[in-house]
Amino acid sequence: MSDATTPAIVLGHRFADEVPEMAMPWQAAEPPAPRLLVLNEPLAAELGLDAGWLRTDDGVRFLAGVNVPAGAKPVAQAYAGHQFGGYSPRLGDGRALLLGELGDRDLHLKGSGRTPFARGGDGLAAVGPMLREYVISEAMHALGIPTTRSLAVIATGKSIVRENLAPGAVLVRVAASHLRVGSFQFARATGDDDLLRRLTGLAISRHHPGAGDALGLYRAVVGAQAGLIARWMLTGFIHGVMNTDNMTISGETIDYGPCAFMDVFDPATVFSSIDEGGRYAYGNQPAIAQWNLARLAEALLPLLDDDQERAIEKATESLAEFRGQYAAATLTGFRAKLGLTGRDDIDDATLTSLSEDLLGLLKSEKADFTSFFRTLAAAEDLGAFEDWGKRWRALGPDTGAMNRVNPVYIPRNHLVEEALGAATDGDLDPLHRLLEVITQPFTERPGLDRFAEPAPPDFGTYRTFCGT
């Protein structure tokens, strides 16, 4: 960046320096006509970036990865992964690029062109899927769920081929890091224990500094993921593609492809068009997370103990903690959702029975998962839920507190599709309106009724796609 008006931006390169075997030096493809579609100004301020400058031509070229600061080392990251249960030893950033670390967070691109990991793909992305990740990740952040963030989406000025021609885009993503279970699977597959040890040290220092060693790291990741998946379940979020390369070591939600929020409560709910067997259905998410964590344990075995049998025993004991931690986090969440936080006189068994009975009723009555809890806090007559409601009211819930944890606004699927369709056609107003609503999810406001309502009957069966 030679322009004297350009801010002094320093991008670190710890990943490239500490595990160079997993970092392929690469450059973003130059888009023919880059144009900023949406910029997350509050996030830019958190990162110490000048939002005004980011909106300039030079700023947009920086966001697109074309003008990188002197000394930066952009790389495509190598990782492996189990995808729908099948192991792929070499995946990596096929259409993505780690520009570097900005402070303690990664600055990362999606849709920035082919890399050596592209596996026949074009390395590009479309406006719709990149805006979907922006919308859903910012909604998750507003809901208090650990997540990667979206800094910007840039139209490239290039049409890409999918089912039809679609306008191309680049997403600028911010994350605590992009270390994932698949990163450790890749390192283990090399047979290089020193690489695995360095990767483990990097993960500890960046995310779990109190872990101490590989076993401590593993237990920390188990705990972080147990808490994360509980939060997904408590908000009706369905990730849709929980491959091991999509599970972070930090405990952040990552890679919003065929994701969606559930309307009618049903544990079998699947939105992804490629998940034909329902592997990643809403109700399967805790078990899949535990399965993924078992794959992390396998990757870490050489560092857990010199004796393989003892290493397996340590890993098994640590993985067994997931179920209890997930159950505890879920129960804590339901205490809050039902207005019973701080009530030591209500034991876990009572709360568990109450919650499980409620979930059974929600399914049988085909109730909307999100709006039910807001209605519960206000309604005197609960209709088909009245008998259950009598048990709940007898516990003396704090209904005022319920509205501080139960959202009134989430990214309803029909509203997301409406906004993305308009944006793809050049109208960004519905997108900005939706963002304004969902980033304040707990505060009910006049004139926003349609944003709190389930999809209309004519919306039909909803299907999402991976956004490739």
Rounded to whole angstroms, the Cα distance separating 125 from 463 reads 19
The answer to whether 66 and 9 have CB atoms below 8 angstroms apart is no
What is the CB neighbour count within 10 angstroms for residue 230? Answer: 24
Q: Angle, to 10 degrees, between the axis of helix 413-424 and the axis of helix 127-142?
A: 140
The Cα 222–Cα 119 span in angstroms is: 31
Q: Which residue has the tokens 């040890």?
A: 197
Choose among 99, 94, 128: nearest CA to 111.
94
Work out the end-to-end distance of the chain between its first and last CA atoms, rounded to an integer number of angstroms. Answer: 31
> What are the residue numbers of the active site?
245
Identify the H or E element spanning 355: helix 348-364
Q: Cα dihedral sign for 114, 118, 122, 124? A: negative
- Residues 103 and 72 sit within 8 Å (Cβ to Cβ): no
Cα within 13 Å of Cα(25), Cβ side: 6
**Residue 362 near residue 265, CB atoms below 8 Å:** yes
